[in-house]
Structure 1
Amino acid sequence: MNAETNGGPLDGAVIAVAGAAGPAGRAVLLRLAGAGATVVAADADPGRLSEAVEAARESNGAKVVGETVDLLDLDATRAWAEKTEKEFGRVDGLVHLVGGWRGSSSFTETDLKDWDFLEKLLIRTVQTTSLAFHDALQRGGGRGRYVLVSQVGAHKPQANNAAYNAGKAAAEAWTLAMADSFRKLGGDDGPQAAATILVIKALVHDAMRAERPNAKFAGFTDVKDLADEIAGLWDRPAQEVNGQRLWLTPEP
């Protein structure tokens, strides 16, 4: 079936969200669907995914559907991309919100098992989603967007975050390679799709503030503000945002 319309700025768009069940994912589902998009949400946890999808639907009757996908499996991720395009007739975006963190007390105490864990979450899921959705986004008539959320440590690594910072840096490099593919395919007309990186210090949401009412969360980005920044990428031409790092925290 084709996506229906909601009358918003993303009216008729079809956007997939990977890692949709967390606080950032929930904010993005609400923001994109509220702007008129049909949102196809994926997460590895079916219970949390179902809760996130139902919460979005109950908020404003949003068009949100859920799909449990193993994003470590390229074939499964490609099947998700193909199913989404076949069912809705197009894919205008993939928002990558899969995350995780492991750190250590010092550089020399880094546990390489943390790298094994983070490599899967921070890098492998970027690889599978970008490869699976690349062609569909390229077919989007200038509307296709791949969005990665990164972290400032990729540019100023810290001793106790070596594995995490290296994982984020690798994810950025992979995303920029995708952007270069879009650039080359666009030729003289410029890219017809965009791969963009949003860089944050950390995220904060209402539950965190309630748990720590005296904390200032200096430099943190609220998940609702992140969702606004993501939605705004469709207001800008692909050529303007392709291959760009957009800083939501001061650049080091």
Structure 2
Amino acid sequence: MPVADEPRTTESVRDHSSVAGETAVVTGASSGIGRAITETFVADGADVVICSRTRDDVEAVADELNGADLPGSVHPVECDVTDRDSVEALAEATLEEFDAVDLLVNNAGGAGDGGPLQEVEPEGWEGVVEVNLTGTYNVTRAFADALRSDGGAIVNTSSMAGRYGVAGMGPYSAAKAGVSVLTRTLAAEWAEDDVRVNAVEPGFIATPPVREAYGLDEVPDREPVAREFGSPHEVADLVRFLASDAASFVTGQTLAPTGPPNTFEPPEL
């Protein structure tokens, strides 16, 4: 006789798809996708530790969201994910405040200056790889014991550039490909510890730099489906799903919020 899953109720569906009551860490949370993830988690009832290299930036986010009468809370910490001492301080501050960590979102990153590979200086290459790939390693390693002791979920921010490779973005493409592979590796290594590890590969998302580059006056509506740009909160909703128990049998996957299938060709400027 087959084993039946639990009966579905409105309450159980909502509980499984929620991160309420969880403690989360979101890096690179001062703007764009990281801020949208933070807003989504806090509105759902999570306590979120956020960080960026500039404390004033994350304090502004924390002040705004903590004053918005949302069920969760925001705790800002200054942290440079490329600096291991800074990352260790982030982990210590988080565990001192909450004693445990349930969710980790490695979102900090940056594309750098770009250009043809032969024109990329070694310092430029190293900087992009450090913040995107090594930063993900640094933060994950710092929270490894806390996550593995009680189980949890990690969501890494990769990019469609890491899937297809983009001319003029060699360091970024390579680093984000590394994030996707690291995601699969960690998912295999930490499954026995009840830690799920997934990633998102956003396409063109209307973050402040993208809006400025393409002259977008506002974040696009969620409809229609056939559009070139998504919104940061559309990525955040996918991250919330991957972080929640609704994705309890999903690990080692990289999901791509991109709109219609494409090969990551930049929209016309």
Cα offset, 1:103, TM superposition: 4.7
Cα offset, 1:174, TM superposition: 2.3
Distance in 2 between residues matched to 1:247 and 1:220, nearest whole Å:
13
Aligned identity (percent) is 24
Alignment map for 1:227-238 (pairs within 5 Å): 227-233=236-242, 234-238=244-248
Alignment map for 1:1-252 (pairs within 5 Å): 9-61=18-70, 62-141=72-151, 144-183=152-191, 186=192, 192-205=194-207, 208=211, 211-213=215-217, 218-233=227-242, 234-238=244-248, 240-249=249-258, 250=261, 252=263
Of 152-161 and 213-222, deviating more is 213-222
- 1:95-139 Cα deviation digits (max 9, x unpaired): 111121135443443333321220121112101111111221222
Distance in 2 between residues matched to 1:106 and 1:181, nearest whole Å:
36
Q: Which runs of 5+ in 2 are unaligned?
A: 1-14, 221-225, 264-269
The amino acid of 1:10's aligned partner reads V
Distance in 2 between residues matched to 1:139 and 1:214, nearest whole Å:
43
Match of 1:4 in 2: none
- The 4+ residue runs of structure 1 with deviation greater than 6 A are 214-217
Cα offset, 1:57, TM superposition: 1.4
Q: Which has the higher strand share?
A: 1
The amino acid of 1:172's aligned partner reads S
Contact conserved, 1:15 with 1:37, CA < 8 A, in 2? yes
The amino acid of 2:250's aligned partner reads V
Match of 1:3 in 2: none
Cα offset, 1:212, TM superposition: 2.5
Contact conserved, 2:206 with 2:230, CA < 8 A, in 1? yes
Cα offset, 1:206, TM superposition: 7.5
Cα offset, 1:53, TM superposition: 1.1
Q: The residue matched to 2:158 in structure 1 has which SS?
A: strand
Distance in 2 between residues matched to 1:138 and 1:215, nearest whole Å:
38
The amino acid of 1:88's aligned partner reads F
Aligned Cα root-mean-square deviation (Å): 2.7
Cα offset, 1:218, TM superposition: 4.0
Q: TM-score, normalised by structure 2?
A: 0.78
The amino acid of 1:230's aligned partner reads V
Contact conserved, 1:20 with 1:97, CA < 8 A, in 2? yes
Q: The residue matched to 1:100 in structure 2 has which SS?
A: coil
- 1:177-226 Cα deviation digits (max 9, x unpaired): 2212112xx1xxxx511111101113214793895249989433311111
- CA gap of 1:26–1:105, structure 2 versus 1, over 3 A, is closer
Cα offset, 1:30, TM superposition: 1.2
Q: The residue matched to 1:12 in structure 2 has which SS?
A: coil
Cα offset, 1:58, TM superposition: 2.2
Q: TM-score, normalised by structure 1?
A: 0.83
Contact conserved, 1:126 with 1:175, CA < 8 A, in 2? no
- 1:152-178 Cα deviation digits (max 9, x unpaired): 121211231111101111222223222
Q: The residue matched to 2:62 in structure 1 has which SS?
A: helix
Distance in 1 between residues matched to 2:27 and 2:219, nearest whole Å:
29
